[in-house]
Structure 1
Amino acid sequence: MTQHPWGYSKENGPDRWHETYPLAKGNNQSPVAILTKDVFQDPVLLPWFTSYDPGASKTITNTGKTCRIAFDDTFDRSVLRGGPLPGIYRLRQLNIHWGSTDDKGSEHVVDATRYAGEIHVVHWYSKYSNYGDAVRKPDGVAILAILIQVEKTPKPEMKRILEEMSNIKAKGKEAPFQNFDPSILFPKNRSYWTYQGSFTTPSCEECVTWIILKEPIVVSEEQMEKFRSLSSKPADEPHCPLVDNWRPLQPLNNRMVRTPYQ
């Protein structure tokens, strides 16, 4: 079956995804707006922990829709646990969403604030046989989301990723990306919001426990521009800036957004 080309333009953008991926019209879709006054403080929620092996990091790719870092997930070498999660989740990939300007780019919105970008660190529940199996289960995937804010100061930990941008300018370009521990990108504050949702890209499976970190990380304008310098087209086609690769808000419906009891 050929995958229908989806994207973020008028012709194939989020408003039309459901035509090919009916799950995109489901009741538990992501991203959502978080209203802090409506968040439930849940005493059963625990702190979360990661233990990542930098040696699991493999490649960095311009997919034409995002910048993706892939990790070796053949065994429990890099894992996320705790928080709202029932077990151990293996690190699989990291994707980044960003806007054409600093006032948009994040997928989740907090108290009407949309940030300049959002990093998704994707993990799957290792009790399932593989990633493909996990995405079919309601508790199969956990995504740690880090919001990006643009200010004057650069974030030195972003340097490793940004140094590769010139090697993956065009869609389909991939470069080796070894010895990287994504936890260097985490903010100091570990507090989070959590809810049950979906992938924010097709096929939009509703298998995701979201852990959204409350404290954004700060990057500089210059660092943000590096992401915007990527092209969404292959090298043999005219440069087309890869920007605004974020999905609009989806209805929360009857879901609850929770945070650990303070």
Structure 2
Amino acid sequence: MLRLLGSGRSHPKSSGLSVLVKQMWGTLRSHPLRLERWCSQGPCVQRKRNDALHAFWKGPASVPGGARQSPINIRWKDSVYDPRLKPLRVSYDSAACLYVWNTGYLFQVEFDDSAEGSGISGGPLENHYRLKQFHFHWGAVNEWGSEHTVDDHVYPAELHLVHWNAVKYQNYTEAVMGEDGLAVVGVFLKLGAHHEALQKLVAVLPDIKHKDARAALGPFQPSCLLPACQDYWTYPGSLTTPPLSESVTWIIHKKPTEVAQDQH
């Protein structure tokens, strides 16, 4: 497995949704996916901001002055093979899936995190982390959508599975602001074969057209969204939306998951 040394720069991103989601969520097309920030070996600084464009960026912004801001441009020359890094252990309980909801920014699938049954351990993690939710980031066009990039290559979309450290913290809210509080598994999506499991998510989108709308999803196994190859990059970073807390251990799969044109 590869550990990243240092970080690249974040990249601006076009706003909007893919063809299918545009038809369902037309009102969201004017929202950018995230604030543009510049990341380097030094502290990240805020470059541009328009409070009227994104609900997550309403009100005063609190931008940490540390050097762990995400996303980054993953550079092969900055990654080093670490034999101490073992495969990530993934154990998700499909029955823990609660519902999918429209945050006004993206659709998010929530899980019951009150027990140890669904989560990850191993890899770069010292503790067990419970799955809280997963969501997707996408762009207006296929060529520009992922949060992270690999040697400046951008994927059409990126999946984030968000977990919290259930050993060190009492709940997700505490973990967000705490050291080693979160672990986010990132998966790039690229155009290719039809993904049957993802179709179950797409099918409920018409039921959550409006902000804060929820729809039951029933049992759903998120591990089916992960690529077969377990190789990953890992680095210490931050949330990519407010509060931008530098509490995240990022685990980015090297291989993307394929989805059909009408699924991303």
Instruction: Give the TM-score range, shorter chain.
Output: 0.7 to 0.9
The one-letter code sitting in structure 1 at the alignment partner of 2:61 is: Y
C-alpha displacement of 1:18: 10
TM-score by length of 2: 0.77
C-alpha displacement of 1:62: 1.0
My pick for the range that moved more, 24-33 or 80-89, is 24-33
Specify the alignment match of 1:155 in structure 2: 195
Any conservation in 1 of the 2:62–2:242 contact (CA below 8 Å)?
A: no
C-alpha displacement of 1:21: 2.9
C-alpha displacement of 1:24: 4.9
C-alpha displacement of 1:37: 2.2
2:151 is equivalent to residue 111 of structure 1: yes
Tell me, in whole angstroms, the C-alpha distance in 2 between the residues paired with 1:197 and 1:30.
5
Q: 5 Å matches for 1:69-80?
A: 69-80=109-120
C-alpha change, 1:74 and 1:165, in structure 2 (3 Å) is same
C-alpha displacement of 1:157: 2.0
C-alpha displacement of 1:100: 0.8
C-alpha displacement of 1:139: 0.4
Tell me, in whole angstroms, the C-alpha distance in 2 between the residues paired with 1:47 and 1:18.
39
C-alpha change, 1:97 and 1:24, in structure 2 (3 Å) is farther
Tell me, in whole angstroms, the C-alpha distance in 1 between the residues paired with 2:112 and 2:61.
28
Residue 146 (structure 1) aligned to one of 175, 180, 187: 187
Specify the alignment match of 1:52 in structure 2: 92
2:236 is equivalent to residue 196 of structure 1: yes
1:136-186 deviation line (CA, Å, top 9, x unaligned)? 2220100000101123x2212211111111111222211012201100111
My pick for the range that moved more, 80-89 or 130-139, is 130-139
Specify the alignment match of 1:258 in structure 2: none
Any conservation in 2 of the 1:18–1:25 contact (CA below 8 Å)?
A: no
2:109 is equivalent to residue 85 of structure 1: no
Unaligned runs of 5+ in 2: 1-30, 34-48
Tell me, in whole angstroms, the C-alpha distance in 1 between the residues paired with 2:133 and 2:152.
28
Tell me, in whole angstroms, the C-alpha distance in 1 between the residues paired with 2:70 and 2:59.
17
Identity score, percent: 38
Any conservation in 2 of the 1:21–1:204 contact (CA below 8 Å)?
A: no
Tell me, in whole angstroms, the C-alpha distance in 1 between the residues paired with 2:59 and 2:101.
27
Tell me, in whole angstroms, the C-alpha distance in 1 between the residues paired with 2:208 and 2:185.
24
**Secondary structure, in 3 states, of the residue corresponding to 2:63?**
helix
The one-letter code sitting in structure 2 at the alignment partner of 1:8 is: P
2:49 is equivalent to residue 8 of structure 1: no
Q: Tell me how large the CA RMSD over aligned residues is.
A: 1.9
TM-score by length of 1: 0.78
Any conservation in 2 of the 1:63–1:171 contact (CA below 8 Å)?
A: yes
The one-letter code sitting in structure 1 at the alignment partner of 2:32 is: Y
Tell me, in whole angstroms, the C-alpha distance in 1 between the residues paired with 2:174 and 2:70.
20
**Secondary structure, in 3 states, of the residue corresponding to 1:103?**
coil
C-alpha change, 1:17 and 1:170, in structure 2 (3 Å) is closer
2:193 is equivalent to residue 126 of structure 1: no
Residue 177 (structure 1) aligned to one of 184, 207, 217: 217
C-alpha displacement of 1:11: 2.2
Unaligned runs of 5+ in 1: 1-6, 225-262
Specify the alignment match of 1:244 in structure 2: none
Tell me, in whole angstroms, the C-alpha distance in 2 between the residues paired with 1:194 and 1:138.
16
C-alpha change, 1:214 and 1:43, in structure 2 (3 Å) is same
- The number of aligned residues is 216
Q: 5 Å matches for 1:238-257?
A: none
Tell me, in whole angstroms, the C-alpha distance in 1 between the residues paired with 2:185 and 2:149.
15
C-alpha displacement of 1:17: 4.9
Tell me, in whole angstroms, the C-alpha distance in 2 between the residues paired with 1:125 and 1:193.
20
Tell me, in whole angstroms, the C-alpha distance in 2 between the residues paired with 1:139 and 1:110.
24
Q: Highest relative contact order (Cα 8 Å, sep 6+), 1 or 2?
A: 1
